[in-house]
């Protein structure tokens, strides 16, 4: 399958590292002009430099903005006013005693993991519907379905994003714009490596630490390993393409079989 996104402009939030970086690379490799988003200009510039080293003919736009704030969302619109593909990837996660999570921390998780995506959808969706074509995706998580005891606030925020995606899909019905969520399973990123070592013996080498983590904390994974960011990106690029024109309102799983249910 040859996916061609030439002539399309994409914005990937939180794309200076991890899953977002892999998604940005995948979209650019398919011909899209891609907005790289992060909170600082220096980090965005460094990420674009790294991407251009691999994809010298690709076009990137620096979108240095904290899109978890009203002002940051407005800045993103100023820097990249018209997009065809919006990937709401920005998110934070971490472990916490569920009885010790403060109201402020709950609010922070919802501001970053939920409201940032809602704001950008509200800003970009009308232009997509006017054109009669667009793709909006939300990077969700298996944790939104199987809420982890050690990160309830994160899991619940990802449950919310599944509802947000389904709701906006209905708002875009019949417009030519598709709206989906992608349920990512346990994925191998730098942040996840730190997370794993919060839960397992820090003296273990990475391969042993990963096995210990999957055995004790994600035992239902059928893949029985962490997913690589590029594997998440492959699904996102497909859903952003014309080939996925009949897929909307869906919660598409790239979870390594972790969620023990047929739907979603």
Which residues are identified as catalytic? Answer: 154
Beta carbons within 8 Å of 73's beta carbon, 6+ residues apart: 65, 67, 116, 119, 120, 123
Characterise 224 by phi-psi region: left (phi > 0), alpha (psi -120 to 50), beta (else): left
**Phi, psi at residue 14, to the nearest 5°?**
60, 50
Measured between alpha carbons, how far is 42 from 37 in angstroms, rounded to an integer?
A: 11
Strand partners, 38: 64
Q: How far apart are the first and last CA of the chain?
A: 25
* Orientation angle between helical segments 18-29 and 41-54, nearest 10 degrees: 40
Question: Which residues are within 8 A (CB) of 200 and not within 5 positions of it... i.e. 6 or more apart?
Answer: 209, 212, 213, 216
- Which residues does 41 contact at the CB level (< 8 Å), separation at least 6? 62, 64
Q: Is 55 exposed, middle or buried (0-12, 13-18, 19+ CB in 10 A)?
A: middle
């Amino acid at each position: 399958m040859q996916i061609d996104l030439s002539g399309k402009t994409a914005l990937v939030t939180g794309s200076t590292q991890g899953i977002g970086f892999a998604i940005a690379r995948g979209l650019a490799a398919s011909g899209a002009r891609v907005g790289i988003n992060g909170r600082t200009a220096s980090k965005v510039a460094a990420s674009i430099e790294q991407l251009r080293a691999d994809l010298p003919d690709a076009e990137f736009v620096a979108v240095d903005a904290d899109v978890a704030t009203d002002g940051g969302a407005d800045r993103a619109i100023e820097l990249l006013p018209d997009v065809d593909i919006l990937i709401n990837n920005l998110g934070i996660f971490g472990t916490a005693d569920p009885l010790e999570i403060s109201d402020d921390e709950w609010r922070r998780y919802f501001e970053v993991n939920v409201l940032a995506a809602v704001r950008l959808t509200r800003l970009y969706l009308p232009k997509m519907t006017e054109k009669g074509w667009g793709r909006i995706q939300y990077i969700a998580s298996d944790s939104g379905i199987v809420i982890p005891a050690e990160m309830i606030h994160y899991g619940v925020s990802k449950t919310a994003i599944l509802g947000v995606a389904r709701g906006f899909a209905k708002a875009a019905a019949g417009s030519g714009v598709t709206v989906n969520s992608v349920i990512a399973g346990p994925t191998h990123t730098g942040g996840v490596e730190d997370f794993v070592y919060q839960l397992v013996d820090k003296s273990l080498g990475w391969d042993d630490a990963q096995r210990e983590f999957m055995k004790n904390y994600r035992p239902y994974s059928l893949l029985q390993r962490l997913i690589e960011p590029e594997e998440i990106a492959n699904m996102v690029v497909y859903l952003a393409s014309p080939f996925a024109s009949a897929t909307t309102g869906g919660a598409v799983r790239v979870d390594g079989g972790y969620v023990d249910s047929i739907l979603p």
